[in-house]
Amino acid sequence: MLDSIRKTEQEFDVALAAAASHADLEALRVRFFGRKGGAVHALFAELKAVPAERKKEVGEALNQLRDSLEARLREKLDASAAEENARKQARSSIDVTLPGRTPSFGSLHPITIVRREIEQIFREMAYSIDPGPEVETDWYNFEGLNFTPDHPARDTQDTFYLGPELLLRTHTSNVQIRTMEKAAPPFKVLSAGRVYRRDEITLRRSPMFHQVEGFFVDRGVHFGHLRGTLEHFMRRVFSPDTEVRFRPSYFPFTEPSAEVDISCPFCHGKGCGTCSKTGWMEILGCGMIHPQVLRNCGIDANEWSGFAFGLGIDRVAMIKFGMPNIRTLFENDLRVLRQF
Ligand SMILES: [Zn+2]
């Protein structure tokens, strides 16, 4: 019987040394201390058969075996649980010395950058900002602006019609009529937004583009005010040494009318590939508001006068950012847009 006890202890030693995981230790516990078939339990069962004079000695040896085995198993189980805990903590803990992750911010579209810049320049000159509607009636887009129904200039603005009366505005000049109809002068208004014409998509043209319209109506406004305003505007948007040149032109809603060129921002007037060796770039159209347009809005053209100008935001963005193709602005390629 004492031999069996020693043998059981040796077997336990070997098994305990081999146990590598918590599951191994659990299996060991069942093997030695299980109520059914556990080795220690079996030895206690054999105690009944031991002669009375040796019972005390064997009983003490058995108790010792059970206590010793239990203590060693408990020790190893505790160590294993502590190790498991440490591993869990290592997995969930935060390393405060790691560099932070930079959140990714969006950037403004080049059109938005230029539009805001232009709006800011005119806000500083006390203009109010009014984007106006993109869906418009014939009156606000054409007739109020002196494009009579059979006016040939209508052909230069190939229009998207949404019905017999409704259309997509072909310019931001609709805001002129809307403003002048509902209030009394003086006005200083800037309007920037999308406009639409049935154009083919080319390097310079798109059926949808962005325009800025500005107009100023007051007593005694003359062409000199227009020239001064546009010179200031162009020098703020491009560079302070920008030269401005006026060429006579024609628009139904201004008289006199002019096209404005700026000295080429790339070669500063010397002539390069971008300006076709002329040193100048066409940038906007302008003029004194036609007296008939003022009268259309119920304004006395003998008392009030004004100027108006319009230009493409897309064109300004292309020149400012050196883009040769207008499509670059509308393709929404993130690799391009993230540069701004
Ligand atoms: Zn040039």
Cα(260)–Cα(234) distance, integer angstroms? 10
Final residue in a domain of this structure, among 92, 119, 151 = 92
Q: What is the CATH number of the domain that holds 209?
A: 3.30.930.10
- Does residue 51 lie in a domain region? yes
Task: Indicate if 77 and 162 belong to the same structural domain.
Answer: no
Position 56 scores a pLDDT of 86
DSSP structure string for 259-273 = EEEEE-TTTTTS--T
Distance between Cα 251 and ligand 1 center (Å): 27
Distance between Cα 262 and ligand 1 center (Å): 10
Task: Indicate if 8 and 119 belong to the same structural domain.
Answer: no
Distance between Cα 266 and ligand 1 center (Å): 5
Position 156 scores a pLDDT of 72
Is the entire prediction scored with pTM above 0.85?
A: no
φ and ψ at residue 308, rounded to 5 degrees: -145, 150
Position 188 scores a pLDDT of 96
Distance between Cα 277 and ligand 1 center (Å): 6
Residues of the domain holding 246 = 110-337
Task: Indicate if 84 and 119 belong to the same structural domain.
Answer: no
Specify the amino acid at residue 260: V
- Does residue 98 lie in a domain region? no
Position 163 scores a pLDDT of 87
Cβ atoms within 10 A of the Cβ of 203, count? 12
Task: Indicate if 141 and 281 belong to the same structural domain.
Answer: yes
pLDDT of 239 > 80? The answer is: yes
φ and ψ at residue 103, rounded to 5 degrees: -65, 145
Q: Which residues pair with 311 in a beta bridge?
A: 212, 284
Task: Indicate if 8 and 155 belong to the same structural domain.
Answer: no
Distance between Cα 236 and ligand 1 center (Å): 19
Distance between Cα 271 and ligand 1 center (Å): 4
Distance between Cα 270 and ligand 1 center (Å): 6
Task: Indicate if 116 and 86 belong to the same structural domain.
Answer: no
Task: Indicate if 120 and 9 belong to the same structural domain.
Answer: no
Condensed to tens digits (0 to 9), the pLDDT of residues 28-49 reads: 888 888 888 788 888 888 888 8
Distance between Cα 281 and ligand 1 center (Å): 8
Task: Indicate if 132 and 244 belong to the same structural domain.
Answer: yes
pLDDT of 221 > 90? The answer is: yes
Asked, as a colleague might, if the bond just before 256 is cis with ω within 30 of 0, I would say yes
Condensed to tens digits (0 to 9), the pLDDT of residues 8-30 reads: 888 888 888 888 888 888 888 88
Condensed to tens digits (0 to 9), the pLDDT of residues 183-208 reads: 899 999 999 999 999 888 888 888 99
Task: Indicate if 66 and 167 belong to the same structural domain.
Answer: no
User: Which contacts of 151-159 are long-range, i.e. CB under 8 A and separated by 24 or more positions?
Assistant: 151/252, 153/250, 153/251, 153/252, 157/197, 158/197, 158/198, 158/199, 159/196, 159/197, 159/198
Q: How many domains are contained in the chain?
A: 2
Position 96 scores a pLDDT of 82
Final residue in a domain of this structure, among 92, 118, 144 = 92
Cα(234)–Cα(319) distance, integer angstroms? 12
Final residue in a domain of this structure, among 62, 92, 122 = 92
- Does residue 163 lie in a domain region? yes
What residues contact residue 10 under an 8 Å CB cut-off, 6+ apart? Answer: none
- Does residue 80 lie in a domain region? yes
